[in-house]
């Protein structure tokens, strides 16, 4: 049950696009289409942004998109806005009814 | 409004016990898997446990297996986490969340601090 690997930080200017990676193994990210992404503003409840790799819950702006290639999933935020500044976590099903999260990426809007 | 509200956190000595509760409202609680996730200070999120709709399947991260017990009362729309033999490394904000493979929504969390 090793954590997924995310870059500790990412940044971009308003209006730009930024992509956050999430690297696992063939036993988790690469093996299942159950990758999800969460936005977490400190002190608030985490919020689901992407599920099943590419799906977006209702109410989440289409500026947020997900993808996967092999053992690496990615979250892309287009048209960056100030309110996008937060911590972002990926998660994957890891088989045997277990889940694993990434270490988190702090997104800064410059 | 779909809502989850955790309670029961607090300060406890190493080796002690706590029972966390999560009150659900705004949705058919009995129809959903439920999950506990924690975040230690300055660390990332960690999946702790989840439970099937009828309580018949329960799964845990290795580090809490045998010490923590997840349960639910569908009549009371409530989820629980009984935590025994607590360790300093169990110190974290504990969140309840709806769902098995992905989680939405989450509660605001309840803080558990284990002192040595």
Residue A40 to residue B107: CA distance in whole angstroms: 12
- What pLDDT does A2 receive? 76
B50 chain-A contacts, CB cut-off 8 A = 97, 99
Which residue, among A7, A43, A45, would best test binding to B if mutated, counting the most B CBs under 10 Å from its CB? A45
Report the C-alpha gap between B4 and A92 in whole angstroms.
Answer: 22
Q: Is the pLDDT of residue B115 over 70?
A: yes
Nearest CB neighbour to A48, from listed B47, B57, B102: B102
| Mean pLDDT for the stretch of residues B26-34 | 97
Q: How much is the pLDDT for B75?
A: 98
Residue A14: strand, helix, or coil: coil
Residue (of B107, B101, B110) closest to B33 by Cα position: B101
pLDDT of residue B38: 97
Phi and psi, residue B39, nearest 5°: -140, 110
Q: What is the mean pLDDT of residues B40-62?
A: 96
Mean pLDDT for the stretch of residues B47-51: 97
pLDDT at A1 over 80: no
| Stretch B52-59: mean pLDDT | 96
Q: What is the mean pLDDT of chain A?
A: 96
Contact B103 A104 (CB under 8 A): no
- Distances A23 to A106, B11, B95, B98 between C-alpha atoms, Å: 16, 36, 24, 25
Mean pLDDT of B28-32: 97
CA A33, B57, B68: angle at the middle one, nearest 5?
100
CB contact under 8 A, A45 and B107: yes
Chain segment B73-95, per-residue pLDDT in tens: 999 999 999 999 999 999 999 99
Burial of B15 (0-12, 13-18, 19+ CB in 10 A): exposed
| Closest in B45, B62, B105 to A1, CB measured | B62
pLDDT in tens, A17-67: 999 999 999 999 999 999 999 999 988 999 999 999 999 999 999 999 999
- List CB contacts (< 8 A) between B93 and chain A: none
B50–A99: do the CB atoms touch at under 8 Å?
yes
Token pair recorded at residue A2: 């090793």
Q: Which residues contact B46 (CB under 8 A, 6 or more apart)?
A: A3, A101, B37, B38, B39, B40, B61, B92
Pairwise CB contact (< 8 Å): A48 & B109:
no
Q: Do A36 and B102 touch (CB under 8 A)?
A: yes
């Amino acid at each position: 049950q090793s954590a997924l690997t995310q870059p500790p930080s990412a940044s971009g200017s308003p209006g730009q696009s930024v992509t956050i990676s999430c690297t696992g193994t063939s036993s988790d990210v690469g093996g299942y289409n159950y990758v999800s992404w969460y936005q977490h503003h400190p002190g608030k409840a985490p919020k689901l942004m992407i599920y099943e790799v590419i799906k977006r819950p209702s109410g989440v702006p289409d500026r947020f998109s997900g993808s996967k290639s092999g053992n690496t999933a990615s979250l892309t935020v287009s048209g960056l806005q100030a309110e996008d500044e937060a911590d972002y976590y990926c998660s994957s099903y890891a088989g045997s009814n277990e889940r694993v999260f990434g270490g988190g990426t702090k997104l800064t809007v410059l | 409004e779909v809502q989850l509200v955790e309670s029961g956190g607090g300060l406890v000595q190493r080796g002690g016990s706590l029972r966390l509760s999560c009150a659900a409202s705004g949705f058919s609680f009995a129809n959903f898997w439920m999950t506990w996730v924690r975040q230690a200070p300055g660390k990332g999120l960690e999946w702790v446990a989840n439970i099937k709709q009828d309580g018949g399947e329960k799964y845990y991260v290795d580090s809490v297996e045998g010490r923590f017990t997840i349960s639910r009362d569908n009549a009371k729309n409530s989820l629980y986490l009984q935590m025994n033999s607590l360790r300093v490394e169990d110190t974290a904000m504990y969140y309840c969340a709806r769902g098995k493979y992905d989680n939405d929504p989450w509660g605001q969390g309840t803080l558990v601090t284990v002192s040595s």
